[in-house]
Amino acid sequence: MTYDAGRVAAKRINDHVEVVHVDHPGTVLEVPRRDWEAFTAAVKSGAFDLEILERAREENVA
């Protein structure tokens, strides 16, 4: 499954940022604010694949 990065919403909550894909609103990735720049750099470089959200959701449901 391939995610469109334009369909990902990020919301700043106190000390972290919640990242949610619009097609999977029940799967939330929490990124500490201190790591936000490194996280976005990893996503842009391809080192972090947003498909991990789907795999994590499937593992937690099983």
Domain count of the fold of the chain: 1
- Percentage of residues in the chain with pLDDT exceeding 70? 76
Does the residue 50 lie in any domain? yes
- Report the distance separating Cα 11 and Cα 29, nearest Å: 11
Does the residue 1 lie in any domain? no
Does the residue 3 lie in any domain? no
Tens digit of each residue's pLDDT (9 = 90 or more) over 21-48: 888 788 788 999 999 999 888 888 887 7
pLDDT at 5 over 70: no
User: Per the structure block, which two tokens stand in for 7?
Assistant: 């369909």
**pLDDT value for 34:** 92
**When comparing pLDDT for 49 and 21, which is higher?**
21
- Report the distance separating Cα 52 and Cα 54, nearest Å: 5
